Amino acid sequence: MARAAITNAERRKTRQIRVGSVPIGGGAPISVQSMTTTKTADVDGTLAQIYALAASGADIVRCTCNEQAAAEGLARIVPRSPVPIIADIHFHHEMALAALEAGVQGLRLNPGNLRKPEEIKMIAAEARDRGVPIRIGVNAGSLHPELYKRFGGATPEALVESARMELAYFEEVGFDDVKISVKASSVPLMIESYRLASETFDHPLHLGVTEAGPPPAGLLKGTAGIASLLVEGIGDTIRYSLTADPVEEAKAGRQLLEALGLRERKGLDLIACPSCGRAEIDVIKVANEAQAALEELNLPIQVAVMGCVVNGPGEAREADLGIAAGKKRGHLFIKGKIIRVVPEDEMVSALVAEAKSLVAEGIEARLAAADDGAEAEAEKDRLALFDEKGEDVNASESRVELIRKTIAAEHGAGPSTS
């Protein structure tokens, strides 16, 4: 049931690092990251959020380390976390050193607000000795004032130069276990900055549109930036930055990678038609009911909910499982083949039951278990609805004939003398 992925050969080649057990770059699967919103000193609350993020698709979670209580919290969180933990560091180099003592599997440093070379090199040397990678997290909103002035603003060249300068400090102490991000809240700026970074560095790149805002606009901005780069082969790990429950970030990241074929499907992918005059049901209502029921099962399949049987099974033939409405009945299909006709009020329950069986038994077994006569019964409904509500489909054939006659007449008339 997995879809074809963008191959490693099409992805930008990078060196590989490891954040705990998670490989990043070098052809490794693209990973999903998110960040907790709890106070890190609240160990139980933070762990609860980390587990929720991991269950929703996060491979790595970042926690703020802005005070001693947060560092102490990390020491208690890291051993109990289901995924590697990265400490987010701003302004205070001693917090980075404390986070390393707490056992974190990665650090994120912002060169825009941690600026003293000796402190940066001290952190890098300690991370080197402990085998802990660092993300150079450049942000257009906190760019070093000197770079802002030199480049005339937060340009792609300025963001990449900030990362290059930080990397040079690391290289002075022999540290290169690095990944890089050059984030911006402007999608065009973010895309151009990462393109330039991909030409400049061979380190893995962490993608994100920073401060994207609340959904749905934040999701659109994040997807526009991250997906544009991923389809170009740029990017090794991603994070949506949403003003929302971070679980939504993890879900969005995972769903994006699955939609692009870059990660194997682990959860539900429900598709539904937008509805039209031929719809025999409230498509939105049925789709929402199916989504709610199937999401609880967390089945790794694609399911289609179609409003009518005229085109539904054909349009959704690539779905693992689907149902289309017609004449107060639902046509249940697997890979476009009708296997059962059920009463309209049983459509969702039949879909859920078949989804469970499909995952447990496989496609071939469920096709073999199709009801006798289901396809013939469904075809009667389809033809009846085609005659009743398929005027637009029927009219299209008439228009095709008119087009043919018009073109034939013009060809027969010879060249124009006007």
Q: What are phi and psi of 306, to 5 degrees?
A: -115, 140
User: Are residues 268 and 321 in contact, defined by beta-carbon separation less than 8 angstroms?
Assistant: no
45-59, 269-283, 401-415: range with highest mean pLDDT: 45-59
pLDDT tens for residues 191-221? 999 999 999 999 999 999 999 999 999 999 9
Average pLDDT over residues 145-153: 95
Residue 48: both structure tokens together: 């609860």
Q: What is the pLDDT of residue 273?
A: 78
Higher pLDDT, 410 or 376: 376
pLDDT exceeds 50 at position 232: yes
pLDDT tens for residues 377-405? 878 877 776 666 554 444 556 677 778 88
pLDDT exceeds 80 at position 174: yes
pLDDT exceeds 60 at position 3: no
User: Are residues 91 and 70 in contact, defined by beta-carbon separation less than 8 angstroms?
Assistant: no
With 0-12 / 13-18 / 19 or more C-beta atoms within 10 angstroms meaning exposed / middle / buried, residue 43 is middle
Q: What is the pLDDT of residue 248?
A: 96
Q: Cα 15 to chain center, whole Å?
A: 23
CA distance 163 to 281: 55
Name the pLDDT band for 98 (thresholds 50, 70, 90).
very high
pLDDT exceeds 80 at position 412: no
In the sheet with 269-272, reading across from the earlier edge strand, the strands are: 269-272, 302-306, 321-326, 329-334, 337-343
User: Are residues 301 and 268 in contact, defined by beta-carbon separation less than 8 angstroms?
Assistant: yes
B/e letters for 299-319, b = 16+ CB within 10 Å, e = fewer, are bebbbbbbbbbbbbbebbeeb
Name the pLDDT band for 417 (thresholds 50, 70, 90).
very low
Q: Cα 181 to chain center, whole Å?
A: 18
Angle CA(212)–CA(214)–CA(215) in degrees, nearest 5?
Answer: 105
Q: List beta partners, residue 18.
A: 23
Average pLDDT over residues 35-52: 96
Q: What are phi and psi of 42, to 5 degrees?
A: -85, 90
Q: What is the pLDDT of residue 274?
A: 74
Reference 220, options 181, 184, 250, 256; nearest CA is 256
pLDDT exceeds 50 at position 138: yes
User: Are residues 105 and 80 in contact, defined by beta-carbon separation less than 8 angstroms?
Assistant: no
CA distance 220 to 245: 16
How many C-alpha atoms does 382 have within 13 Å on its Cβ side?
Answer: 18
Q: What is the mean pLDDT of the chain?
A: 89
pLDDT exceeds 60 at position 415: no
CA distance 363 to 218: 37
Q: What is the pLDDT of residue 413?
A: 61
Q: What is the pLDDT of residue 312?
A: 65
Q: What is the pLDDT of residue 398?
A: 67
Q: What is the pLDDT of residue 104?
A: 98
Beta 302-306 vs 321-326: how paired, if at all?
Answer: parallel
Average pLDDT over residues 350-377: 92
Angle CA(116)–CA(205)–CA(136) in degrees, nearest 5?
Answer: 10
Q: What is the pTM of this model?
A: 0.81
Helix ranges (H only) for 56-155 are: 68-77, 93-102, 117-130, 145-151
* Proportion of the chain above pLDDT 90, given as a percent: 69
User: Are residues 189 and 196 in contact, defined by beta-carbon separation less than 8 angstroms?
Assistant: no
Q: Please, which residues have CB within 8 angstroms of residue 13's CB and are 6 or more apart in sequence?
A: 26, 27, 202
Higher pLDDT, 239 or 328: 239
User: Are residues 289 and 364 in contact, defined by beta-carbon separation less than 8 angstroms?
Assistant: no
Beta 31-35 vs 237-238: how paired, if at all?
Answer: parallel
Domains and CATH numbers, the chain: 8-259 (3.20.20.20), 269-392 (3.30.413.10)
Average pLDDT over residues 293-297: 87
Residue 112: both structure tokens together: 């825009």
